[in-house]
Structure 1
Amino acid sequence: MGNVGGLKGDNRSDQRQERIMLKKMTLALTWVAWVACPAMSQEWARKMFEKTVHDFGSVPRFAKAEYEFVLTNLYVEDVHIADVRSSCGCTTPTIKKALLKTHEKGAIVAHFNTDRFVGYKGATITVTFDKPFFAEVQLQVSGTIRTDVAMSSESVDMGTVEQGSVAEKAIALAYSGWSDWKILDVKSSNPHISAKAVEVSRSDGQVNYHLFVRMDENMPPGYVKEHLILVTNDSSSSSIPVAVEGVVQAGLVVSPASLFMGVVEPGQKVTKQLVVKGNKPFRIVSVDCDDKGFQFDTSSLKVPKPLHLIPVTFVAGNEPGKVAKTIRIETDLGDKSPVLSAYAVVAGK
């Protein structure tokens, strides 16, 4: 009988070894296929980018011109950006976040050097990945840096504004050239930002305007990175982009803005922490989620404090795949309840 039990144990051990060997062979074959086919080896990285081409348009000299090429890690493995370089000094690229966990977002920021170049310029930005596999993705930028328009500052900086407040700023803009040059309209794609251009002088081909920008009280919290479009009567270059920047500071700030619990095995329990910060002491009344797999320890949240730490525990179910849910936090401040996304990936058995 003892020999029978020993044979069963040997069989289980052999089966485990076979599974491990099969996984290694699958990974090896995948790697060989990617190396053998360069196009395939680059495609996994290219698929992460939302866009790979951007046109800055016609930009005044010394104006701030930046664009973020956003990418999302679509895979279970970590993605690491090893390097980024530009084919032209007219554009300086930087990596916003080098290491991306599953479903995390990052960006390659392309800065158009309007202070050092003029005329039409284009560049190829090469992004190099070294994890989980080597790959290179090429991003394209282009634009025209014009010398006939100048602004008193590189952007309209709204500063730091409390949520629910109105902010107003003004900058000066000068044009040299046609005597009948005009700004016909100012367009904004953000309903909470409006602007108007007021002509202040015109003489011998020199035209001066003041640009008044208003951000209303309904602007949501977070970083403001928008563009106004000045529409002119110049048929050869009718649009001029103007950057608008600032920060709207919320009464309550939750960090991280989205909570990734990680890649977990079925039945595994993992705990992470949320930080809720306010401008004054407050109580957390309740924390809830539409999934019972997410649990919250609220025992220490009833005392008013300007900062609360909320332990969040996730217990993985038996179904493999991505779990994405919403967490709601109610406080005694009476403001709109903070809402954030929480997600995890349950690995297959």
Structure 2
Amino acid sequence: MKHLLSFLLALLVAGAAHAQGVLTFEKELHEFGSVPEGTMATYEFKFKNTGNQPVVIANVQASCGCTTPDWTKTPVLPGKIGIVKAVYSSAGRPGIFNKTITVTSNAATPSTVLTIKGNVLTKEEMKSKLTPQQLAQSPRLTLDRTTHDFGKLEMGQSATARFTVKNTGKQPLVLGTITSSCYCVGYKQAPAPIQPGQSAVLELVYADRKLGQLQEPVTISSNDLTGDAKLTLKANIVKDLNAASMVKESGASVPFK
């Protein structure tokens, strides 16, 4: 009887040891090939939980700050699919890249290393590799206007400018990084790729801490091989937006009634 109980206990321990989630990725290496400088090279690594317990990804760590990871935050049940997304910012980084993303979870193998590779080419280099027919198929970024005047803003106040972007080319348009001399302009929300013939509303957030009548040139990179989009944001930045409308009170004392 004693031996039987020991045997059953051993079976339970062995069963518990095998009750674990398993991360099985479709692939652990993705090669982008040639990437136009300025675009955000994005790839989603898909995985399936082939184990018998839920898998929770605790952390995803990129090997450099130029790669921004994202992942499925909720528990992935057995038989279900999850993703680990890698976004490589190619702006100002021409040349070959080879970056890793380390995935840490409660799976049977607690750590998995994913890799992205590619070669960032300048737009001139990209154009030189394409035939005239291929170049004619590339995306085209068209803005509804190239200036926006916010009017009067209080120093430090954030304001949003909305532009309509249309892709008049024949391939999906991918918007990249925003550059400005003040480092005070950014996307309100990361834009999704715009399909050929489609339009999207682009929201830019502006928050300058300088005073006066300002004009800020802004460049938006993309995979449009004809060049980057350029626009200008204007504003009159004042110290106190309400100061002009305030009524100064008299300095004379008012007796109590």
Q: TM-score, normalised by structure 1?
A: 0.36
| Structure with more strand by fraction | 1
Could you tell me the TM-score, scaled by structure 2's length? 0.47
> Which structure has the higher relative contact order (CA within 8 Å, separation 6+)?
2
